[in-house]
Amino acid sequence: MKTVFITGATSGFGEACADVFGQNGYALILNGRRVDRLLSLKSRLEDDYGIRCHLLPFDVQNRRAVFTAIDTLPEEWREVDILINNAGLALGRNSFEEADIDDWETMIDTNLKGLLYVSKAVLPLMIPRNSGHIINLGSVAAKDVYDKGNVYCATKAAVETVSKAMRIELLPHRIKVTAIHPGAAETEFALVRFKGNEDAAKKTYTGLEPLTAKDVADIIFYCATLPPNVCINDLVVTCVQQADGIYFNRES
């Protein structure tokens, strides 16, 4: 059975991917920083689906921790078939003038540098086998900049560019690279962005029927299970009240 490595599996899209792939019998390598959540996810998935899970709790921003964890994976976990680079976040929604530089650095270090570290560490587990699939979580924010989205949008545009570069350079190794760009999806994303302010988080979705984490996970599973000769390069998905960065009737 194939193995899928999911970063940011403690919530939202990552957790929903763990469920969808687990339900379909995949072995799972699960990452995130919240160890309590990883432990309960592992126990639930192993009980529900009779699959194997291996936990790799680390902060994707920590280059040394990323390489140490992946370089020392036990032998039976070293055949990674699919990597889902999902760990990521937005912090704040402020103009350039008002934004907190620490927030900018955290977004750059997580969404871009973290994705690069994890990919660089996992590729030696794919290249010798001439097989693999890297799925990167971009965003509609990669396609269109929105007001006060500045550095978050820039990190996701960078994810799109890095995905294109990986796709070209991994052609000789038959490694697929897919970038998925969701619009508004109700996860913990907005709560994290607004630093625990539940009212602000709720407003993100008021007047919308947003995507769910499962909607996105099902699409990722579809992309990951196409025939070996087929690779979806780039996929944008929104709810029906959103077209690219434009919302119909959103209250906020």
In angstroms, give the least distance from the CB of 122 to ligand 8X3: 23
**Minimum gap (Å) between residue 85 Cβ and ligand NDP:** 8
Judged by CB under 6 A, the residue of 17, 73, 81, 139 near ligand NDP is: 139
Structure tokens given for 202: 């709720």
Helices (H) and strands (E) in the chain, counts: 9, 9
Nearest CA to 85 out of 190, 176, 8 is that of 8
Q: Which of the following is catalytic: 26, 49, 117, 152? A: 152
Strands 242-243 and 246-247, sheet pairing: antiparallel
Between 84 and 140, CB nearer to ligand 8X3: 140
Alpha helices in the chain (DSSP H): 12-23, 35-49, 63-71, 101-107, 115-122, 150-169, 189-193, 198-203, 213-224
Residues 125 and 103: their CA atoms lie apart, in Å, by 33
Partner from ligand 8X3, ligand NDP, none binding residue 88, C-beta < 5-8 Å depending on class: ligand NDP
Closest-approach residue to ligand 8X3 (CB): 139
Q: Please report how close the Cβ of residue 33 comes to ligand 8X3 at its closest, in angstroms.
A: 20
Catalytic residues: 152
Residues binding ligand NDP (CB under 6 A): 7-14, 31-34, 59-61, 86-89, 110, 114, 137, 139, 182, 184-185, 187-189, 192
